[in-house]
Amino acid sequence: MRISSPPTRSAGRVKAQLGAEQAINDKQRDLEQRRAQNAATVAEAEAKKQTALAIQREAELKATQIAQASADAARVRIAAEAAADPMRSRCGPWVWRRPMPSGQSTRRFRRAGMRTLRSSRSN
C-alpha cells in the first residue's frame, strides 16, 4: 500500500498555480488596456498632426496667392507707367538720369526728346 501525499500540500500547489495564472491574466489584461490607450493616444496625435499640416498648407497657399497678387499688381503698375510715358518705355530709364542742358527745363527736354523720337519714327 502506498501512502499518498497529504491533500493540503497538493491543494496548496493548485492554489499557488491558480494564483500565478490569475496574476498572469491580470498582467495581460493591464497590458492590453495599456496598448489600447497607447493606440488611442497615437491616433489622437496623428489627427492633430494632420490638422496642423492642413493649417500649414492653407497658410502657404494664402502666402503664395498674396505673392502672386503683388507680382500681378507690380506688372500692371509697370505696364501702366510704360503706357503713360512712351518716352521712358522706348528709351529706357537712362534718359531721365541724364543732366539737363543748362537753361532748359525738364519739360522742354522731354518735349525735345519726344520730337526726336517722333522724327526718327517717321524716317
pLDDT computed for residue 92 by the predictor: 54
Ranges of H-type helices in 1-123: 7-84, 86-91, 94-97, 106-122
* Model confidence pLDDT, tens digit, residues 50-108: 999 999 999 999 999 999 999 999 999 998 988 887 665 555 554 455 555 565 555 55
Whether 87 and 110 have beta carbons less than 8 Å apart is answered as yes
The mean per-residue pLDDT over the stretch 23-43 comes to 97
- Which pLDDT band, with edges at 50, 70 and 90, does 12 fall under? confident
Indicate the domain borders of the chain.
8-84, 86-123
Residue 100's H or E segment, with its range, is none
Q: Give yes or no for a contact between 113 and 121, defined as CB atoms under 8 angstroms apart.
A: no
